[in-house]
Amino acid sequence: MTKSRSVGSGLLLLVIGGVVGYGVGLGLDFLVTLLTTGSGKLNFSGSVAGLFTLLSSVTAFFFGVVGYRGITRGLNWQIFGTLFGGLFVTGIRFLMGMRGTQLFGSFFFSEPAWVFGALVGAISFLFGVGALDDWMKWARGIDTPDHHEDVPGWEKYLGVSLDHKVIGIQYTVTALVLISVGGLFALIFRTELAQSQLQFLTSTFRLFNQTGPQIYNALMSLHGMVMIVSILLGIAGIMNYVVPLLLGAHDMAFPRMNAFAFWIAVPASVLLLMSLVLGGFETGWTGYPPLSSRGPVGVQMFFLGVFVAGWSSILGAMNVIATVLRMRAKGMTAMRLPILVWASIATSIISLTATQLIGLSFQLVMFQRLLGMGFFDPAKGGNPVLFQHLFWFYSHPAVYVFVLPGLGVISELLPVFVRKPLFGYRWVAMSSLGIALVGFVVWAHHMFTSGMNEYLRVPFMYSTLLVAIPTGVKFFSWVATIWGGKIPNPMPTPFLFTVGAIFVFLLGGLTGPPNATVSVDLHLHDTYFIVGHFHDTIFGGFVFPFFAALYYWFPKATGRRMNEFWGKVHFWLMTPSFLILTFGMMRIGLLGMRRRIADYDAALGFDTTHLVLTICGFLIATSVLIFIINFFHSVKNGEKAEGNLWNSRSPEWQVPSPMAAHNYEVPFEVVGEPYDYGLPGSKYVEFAPAKGKKH
């Protein structure tokens, strides 16, 4: 590796690539308008210039960091795949005589060309990055080794690796990148909301062929979807890294599929970002038709991005289930599984079986737009409410996909820190499955005002309220675990985040039943009350536990620990800001603040509250920035922590950190209960005494 390859040179190339891309895009746009209308116009804030800036700057950045291989090659292939696919369809349309404005729309390609191009681009990415190399070789009859040894150093994270630990970190870092992007979007529109009236996203503002309110809607919608993808990647990161270690497996069951599932998420994320520059989409992340069947081509990029990201989720879930079923250490019976593994199983069952429905519902709208089909078009006998059923059949259980692993992390970490067994292990384990199963029959509570059959609302109220029971079991068991424990003093950062998670998730949980009760929901639906409730559940069920898990397992991955002081600053800055944020949201929601609006009636008197909410938003962003700096700085400079830092009984902490390439050099056998803290002489795992011993 030459010295010139570094993040610094990446950033330099990012700027250069951006400027060059902008110039090329601007020029192309000029040429196209010149050819089609006869008079060229320089559209400085147009879509084409924006698209080329986005793609070339990102690719150039990675070129600067690792050179032309791995992700750089993938992104490059994606760009050329997109162009090739688009030109292919354009050519066919040309031969069919579909010319004029159909040939060169305001986006250079017509909509079918964009969609096909984007799909080809996403698949090309996989070829370019090398995620399909082994399978292609097998197809040609060439054998490949079971494992590919990774190059030492950090460059392995930017190319295809089959090691679940590398893939886990790839997932986690990608999730952090997307959280930053989604958070940045939130800061932009939160700033617009700080005062009533439109300040900078006005009707005369133009960016990517969109007006200010349209950009507001696009950023708001993308904030939702980018965050959802980042959560899916975040939980996949935790599950990928930790589950095989907890099981005593040397890797996931299908390492190549594992790599494929991660790498498919990268072009999916690029597609989501492309939607912003290709005209945006202003439907909210729910993408209800008919609004979504009319918007610009950005809507299609959003649909396609989610569709492709869904593959990642489905394949990843399949891998987790297979790994847990087949690769447990000797003696690890169902009731001796670590609780996080139970949560991962519950989550994966949902991902594996429900994700198809969101893909399907989006695909139907795509076909409606591309092929003139009428699934949701009343003029053609379609039904717009049908879309909502299909969409929520995934998207409600999806919320449990987001939170179950987090709840598993809470249950996993609590006993370690309070030095007491997890209270009611079986009940906690089964409550995860209970939530997952009940979650499949509650979807229509998102549709109480939608115009579906009036009487159908009552059974869905009953089923939705049932979710409170297994969730309650978890809360009671956590409190009973903490009760009488030995609370660490001072509290380490991961424990702080665990406690914070319980508190915040409690607020999310308690504000849930009013939404489930039909009559009250008639008032609450589509207001900021829902926004506040949802952020509470997601922060409590994912964000706080995710940070807890990162602080907790960071030493396992690096052999160093993150800085405790800055970890506590992160916690004490984020928690109060976040609580004020969601309380404020719920308060104005009850008083009449609708969700997804670029501006609000000054007569409502929400200006002061909104200003406070915006300030809180910036404080949360600051705390996350502190975390990210701490995270990357500690990789090389953190305090060394190679032993059993948290004094855990779990197998991964019984061997030195960082973890060896193929995990445990000596296999272990499960000889006791996982959380028997306080039982003298008890052991969870025992490592085989010597090599060569029969087992």
Choices 112-120, 132-140, 393-401, 465-473; region in contact with another protein by CB under 8 A? 465-473
Of residues 635-694, which lie at the interface with another protein (CB under 8 A)? 673, 676-679
Q: Is 425 a binder of another protein (CB under 8 A)?
A: yes
Choices 2-10, 365-373, 531-539, 589-597; region in contact with another protein by CB under 8 A? 589-597
Q: Is 374 a binder of another protein (CB under 8 A)?
A: no
Sign of CA pseudo-dihedral 58, 61, 66, 68:
positive
Q: Is 537 a binder of another protein (CB under 8 A)?
A: no
Q: Is 534 a binder of another protein (CB under 8 A)?
A: no
Q: What are phi and psi of 422, to 5 degrees?
A: -65, 125
Q: Is 530 a binder of another protein (CB under 8 A)?
A: no
DSSP state of 665: S
Choices 92-100, 321-329, 474-482, 657-665; region in contact with another protein by CB under 8 A? 474-482
Q: Is 427 a binder of another protein (CB under 8 A)?
A: yes
The answer to whether 527 and 595 are in contact (CB under 8 A) is yes
d(CA 155, CA 1): 9
Burial string for 328-338 (b: 16+ CB within 10 Å, else e) reads bbeebeeebbb
Choices 181-189, 211-219, 245-253, 574-582; region in contact with another protein by CB under 8 A? 211-219
Q: Is 165 a binder of another protein (CB under 8 A)?
A: no
Tell the smallest beta-carbon distance from residue 341 to another protein (Å). Answer: 19
Sign of CA pseudo-dihedral 450, 456, 461, 464:
negative
Nearest Cα to 271, choosing from 305, 298, 300, 297? Answer: 305
Choices 114-122, 128-136, 240-248, 484-492; region in contact with another protein by CB under 8 A? 484-492
Choices 55-63, 162-170, 206-214, 638-646; region in contact with another protein by CB under 8 A? 206-214
Of residues 230-269, which lie at the interface with another protein (CB under 8 A)? none
User: How many CA within 13 A on the CB side of residue 22?
Assistant: 11
Report how far apart, in Å, the C-alpha atoms of 397 and of each of 42, 442, 450, 451, 584 are.
47, 8, 19, 22, 27
d(CA 294, CA 111): 12
Q: Is 389 a binder of another protein (CB under 8 A)?
A: no
Interacting residue with another protein among 252, 418, 574, 621 (CB under 8 A):
418
Residue type at 87 in one-letter notation: L
Interacting residue with another protein among 519, 576, 608, 658 (CB under 8 A):
519
Interacting residue with another protein among 180, 191, 356, 450 (CB under 8 A):
450
Q: Please give the structure tokens belonging to residue 71.
A: 């992700």
Q: Is 187 a binder of another protein (CB under 8 A)?
A: no
Q: Is 605 a binder of another protein (CB under 8 A)?
A: no
Interacting residue with another protein among 385, 437, 645, 688 (CB under 8 A):
385
DSSP state of 563: -
d(CA 484, CA 507): 24
Interacting residue with another protein among 503, 607, 641, 642 (CB under 8 A):
503
Report how far apart, in Å, the C-alpha atoms of 395 and of each of 398, 443, 501 are.
5, 8, 22
The SS3 call for residue 218 is helix
Binding mask 41-80 for another protein (x = CB under 8 A): ----------------------------------------
As a whole number of Å, the end-to-end CA separation of the chain is 44
Q: Is 291 a binder of another protein (CB under 8 A)?
A: yes
Residue type at 687 in one-letter notation: F
Question: Residues touching another protein: how many (CB under 8 A)?
Answer: 96
Q: Is 568 a binder of another protein (CB under 8 A)?
A: no
Q: Which is nearer to another protein, 2 or 489 (CB)?
A: 489
DSSP state of 250: S
d(CA 561, CA 412): 19
Q: Is 168 a binder of another protein (CB under 8 A)?
A: no
Interacting residue with another protein among 165, 190, 525, 533 (CB under 8 A):
525
d(CA 14, CA 54): 10
Helix (H) or strand (E) holding 207: strand 206-207
Q: Is 424 a binder of another protein (CB under 8 A)?
A: yes
Alpha-helical regions (H) of 96-132: 111-129
Choices 156-164, 446-454, 550-558, 565-573; region in contact with another protein by CB under 8 A? 446-454
Choices 244-252, 263-271, 471-479, 625-633; region in contact with another protein by CB under 8 A? 471-479
Choices 113-121, 482-490, 622-630, 655-663; region in contact with another protein by CB under 8 A? 482-490
Tell the smallest beta-carbon distance from residue 436 to another protein (Å). Answer: 17
Interacting residue with another protein among 99, 137, 594, 640 (CB under 8 A):
594
Q: Which is nearer to another protein, 510 or 660 (CB)?
A: 510
Residue type at 88 in one-letter notation: F
d(CA 527, CA 611): 18
Of residues 20-39, which lie at the interface with another protein (CB under 8 A)? 37, 39
d(CA 371, CA 374): 9
